[in-house]
């Protein structure tokens, strides 16, 4: 995955696009599930890959009943298998 990660959405826009509260995005970051880019002023910027990842996290938690610890394991395994397509 050599694609350049370039954030374009501020947290309020990313939250609206994914249907979550901005605090949820901060929690995902605190849990190590997301790593948005930061501006020099330390403002989070989310890229399209982050948006897709949040959508998948929401699917796992809301549709499949997986907790955040489980989500972290799933994402790590998918990454190791090279199947993470976000």
Task: Show the domains of the chain with their CATH numbers.
Answer: 9-81 (1.10.1660.10)
Tokens 């897709």 belong to which residue?
Answer: 52
Place of tokens 């374009």: 8
Cα separation, 15 vs 52, whole angstroms: 12
pLDDT at 21 over 80: yes
- Find residue 9's DSSP bridge partners: 46
What integer pLDDT is reported at residue 1 of this predicted model? 39
**Closest residue by Cα to residue 46 from 66, 61, 26:** 26
pLDDT, one tens digit per residue, over 34-82 is: 999 999 999 999 999 999 999 999 999 999 999 999 999 999 999 888 8
Model pTM score: 0.84
Within its chain, how far is the Cα of 20 from the centroid?
11
Q: Which residue has the higher pLDDT, 4 or 20?
A: 20
Residue 3 has a pLDDT of 47
pLDDT at 83: 67
Give the three-class secondary structure for 62: helix
């Amino acid at each position: 995955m050599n694609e350049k990660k370039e954030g374009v959405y501020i947290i309020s826009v990313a939250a609206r696009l994914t249907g979550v509260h901005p605090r949820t995005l901060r929690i995902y970051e605190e849990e190590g599930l997301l790593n948005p880019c930061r501006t020099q002023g330390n403002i989070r910027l989310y890229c399209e890959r982050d948006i897709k990842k949040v959508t998948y996290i929401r699917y796992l938690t809301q549709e499949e009943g997986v907790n955040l610890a489980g989500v972290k394991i799933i994402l790590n395994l998918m990454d190791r298998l090279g199947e993470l397509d976000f």
